[in-house]
Amino acid sequence: MIVAIAAAAPRVEAPLMRIDGRCHCGAISYEAEVEPETTGICHCTDCQALTGTAFRVTVKAPAEHFVLRGKPTIYLKTAESGRKRAHAFCPTCGSPIYAAAAENPNAYGLRIGLIRQRKELRPRKAIWCASALPWSTNLDALALDSHDRQP
């Protein structure tokens, strides 16, 4: 009897994208290499509360490719699971910078709105969709009265 064993396909690492960002007031800035395919939307109620809006969009930056300048304030949030997450924000303007494991993070979830190259980071996944505000998953369906700038 001959048994064929399929070799596992080697994991191909996606190329990293070099980005830079800063908070609204400029007190905190950073450079990183991010994994664009990890760009995602989170609809959980914590992200809604912590952003003050319908959802949060983040991209993953491996810790070894993240350089932060300035000193953010850290809010330590404990999830229902008991897991702790450090949420960093600018103490001057309040811009959210990242979330990461509370201790020895191996990656940082960078907030898309602060990244200069944000137009190039298209979300590829959405999580916690059960918590999504009903209108937030299809903005085109809202038939909004849209303006290029505030009227």
Q: For the domain that residue 127 is a member of, what is the CATH number?
A: 2.170.150.70
Q: How many domains does the chain have?
A: 1
**Is 23 inside any structural domain?**
yes
**Is 29 inside any structural domain?**
yes
**Is 7 inside any structural domain?**
no
Q: What is the pLDDT along the chain (151 residues), one digit of tens a residue?
A: 444 454 554 555 678 999 999 999 999 999 999 999 999 999 988 888 888 899 999 999 999 999 999 999 999 999 878 889 999 999 999 999 999 999 999 999 999 999 999 999 999 999 999 999 999 888 888 888 888 888 8
Residue linked to tokens 């930056």: 61
**Is 8 inside any structural domain?**
no
pTM: 0.83
**Is 142 inside any structural domain?**
no
**Residue ranges making up the domain that contains 126:** 17-132
**Is 2 inside any structural domain?**
no
Strands (E) in 79-129, as ranges, are 84-89, 96-101, 107-111, 125-127
**Is 54 inside any structural domain?**
yes
